[in-house]
Chain A
Amino acid sequence: MEERKLTEKESLEVITSMIARTKVRYLGNGKILSMWGYLVVFVALLVWILLASTRQNVWNWLWFAIPVVGFPVTMIMARQEHHEKGAVTYSDRITSRLWTIFGISEIVLTLVCLGFAIFGDVNCWAAMLVYSIVLAPATEIAQGLIINEKSLIVGGAVGLAVGLVTLCCVVGGIPLVAVWYMPLFILAFVSMMIVPGHILTYKAKKQ
């Protein structure tokens, strides 16, 4: 393309041509979503196995490995993805902000729960579990609606269903026994992160 004056008709052609070139439905790369899914499932399995074999609650501290590993890796992967793509669409910006709000609120809630445990000797970690498994799928459904991607909506709906069951159990005082709850928890994260993550990555490659 050169720097030259245009006729009115050519102007219109330039505008429509540029809109067409940028009007690709950017799904984003699903690698970050898959990474979180694998990380959560791996830690859940590890904690489950260690709790079952040793009967020591100290292994529950391993849950902290999820944010400690997940957040820095996300930042590195997001930067790389941004560089590969070269442009940020408005839907990218909105979904990125939605997940940032979720991430920040998770960090704040972790600190609040930690404060309750240290200063009040109160165990409120269940709040963290409920919050994560309700809000993460809700955020994912919102992302799916914004970019019009069914796998995120369906996966998020499965996760949200598990989240609402968890919420009712916690509020109703039903103990979340590992034997039935852990498979449900893992199923939720496989459905809402690993499967849609791979679908998005596949579609992004095809694009």
Chain B
Amino acid sequence: MKELNPLLHSQLRLAIMSILMNVAEADFVYLKEKTESTAGNLSVQLDKLSSAGYISVEKGMSGRRPRTACSITPEGRMAFEEYVEALRTYLNL
């Protein structure tokens, strides 16, 4: 049986990836609200996903406010699809 990707097999990182699979782009505040996580924890997990090349993180300004926009990369999309496929085999779906 194919092993589940350890980078995705954690609650918050999987939640982030699931959201980003569904929208073209999401900002930090939106992700924090939807995942009900703390800013510090979310920031750490975003860095891990970004380092793996699964998401791209763009820091900029929206008016006078700082804005962090996240979107999934083609590698991230592929990893997520493989993860879901592996999950299906584990759960016999």
Contact = CB atoms under 8 A, between A and B. Distances in A.
Q: Do A and B bind each other?
A: yes
Interface of A: 1-6, 8-12, 14-15, 17-19, 21-23, 79-80, 82-83, 85-90, 92-93
Q: What does DSSP make chain A's interface, helix, strand, loop or mixed?
A: helix
A22 B19 contact: yes
B27 A3 contact: no
Given A6-B9, A86-B29, A1 B35 contact: yes
Interface of B: 4, 9-15, 18-19, 21-27, 29-30, 33-37, 41, 44-45, 62-63, 65, 67, 84, 87, 90-91
A156 B27 CA distance: 32
Q: What does DSSP make chain B's interface, helix, strand, loop or mixed?
A: helix
A86 B32 CA distance: 10
A17 B18 CA distance: 9
A86 B33 contact: yes
Given A18-B22, A86-B29, A90-B24, 8 more contacts: A1-B12, A2-B11, A11-B9, A15-B18, A18-B18, A85-B30, A87-B30, A89-B24
B30 to A, nearest CB: 3
B10 to A, nearest CB: 6
B25 A88 contact: yes
A174 B29 CA distance: 56
B62 A83 contact: yes
8 smallest beta-carbon distances between A and B, as pairs? A86-B30, A18-B18, A87-B26, A88-B25, A22-B22, A8-B90, A1-B37, A87-B23
Contacts of B12: 1-3
A82 B25 CA distance: 11
Contacts of A18: 15, 18-19, 22, 34-35
B16 to A, nearest CB: 8
A2 B14 CA distance: 11
11 contacts: A1-B37, A2-B11, A2-B12, A18-B22, A19-B18, A22-B23, A83-B62, A87-B24, A87-B27, A88-B25, A88-B26
Contact of A83 (B15, B25, B63): B63
B19 A3 contact: no
A14 B18 contact: yes
A35 B62 CA distance: 22
Most buried by B among A15, A17, A80, A85: A15
